[in-house]
Structure 1
Amino acid sequence: MEPVLYTVYEATELLKVNKNSVYDLLRNNVIRGLKLGSLKITRTELMKFLEENNDKDLSNLDDIKDLTFGKDV
């Protein structure tokens, strides 16, 4: 059975980013979390985040853009 809740550390492993990136996503309300002992993120929230942000450039969370591939890629 897959977990229902993930810690920030587990979310970093799933998303292949560092913990500061996960905290930035939480701080900017790109993903929602809950505090249950420590910060947790639901599996549903992570899957929703991935679906809604597929094909997006999340380099600047204040200005999320569609992902484009220019000549320099």
Structure 2
Amino acid sequence: MEKVLYTVKEVSQILHTNPSYVYQLINTGLLPVLKLGSYKVRHEALMKFLSEYEGYDLSDPNNVEKITATA
């Protein structure tokens, strides 16, 4: 059975980043969460986030920009 909810730590492992970066995504409103004692991210929300922001530079969650190819 596929997981329905992920912890911030699990999301950071999936995204190959650190938990503090995931908290930045949450605090800027880019990644929606549920507060169930601690933050939980729904599987569907994570998949939507990955799809929606594909092709964007998320290095700074406060300044998201579309990646443009340069020749």
Aligned-partner Cα distance in 2 for 1:54–1:11: 16
Instruction: State the number of aligned residues.
Output: 71
Structure 1 gap ranges (5+): none
Matches within 5 A, 1:1-73: 1-70=1-70
Runs of 4+ in structure 1 displaced over 2 angstroms?
A: 68-71
Normalised to the residue count of structure 1, the TM-score between the two structures is 0.88
Task: Using the TM superposition, give the Cα deviation of residue 30 of structure 1 relative to its aligned residue in structure 2, in angstroms.
Answer: 0.3
Structure 2 gap ranges (5+): none
Normalised to the residue count of structure 2, the TM-score between the two structures is 0.90
Please provide the CA RMSD for this pair. Answer: 1.3
Task: Using the TM superposition, give the Cα deviation of residue 70 of structure 1 relative to its aligned residue in structure 2, in angstroms.
Answer: 4.4
Aligned-partner Cα distance in 2 for 1:18–1:61: 14
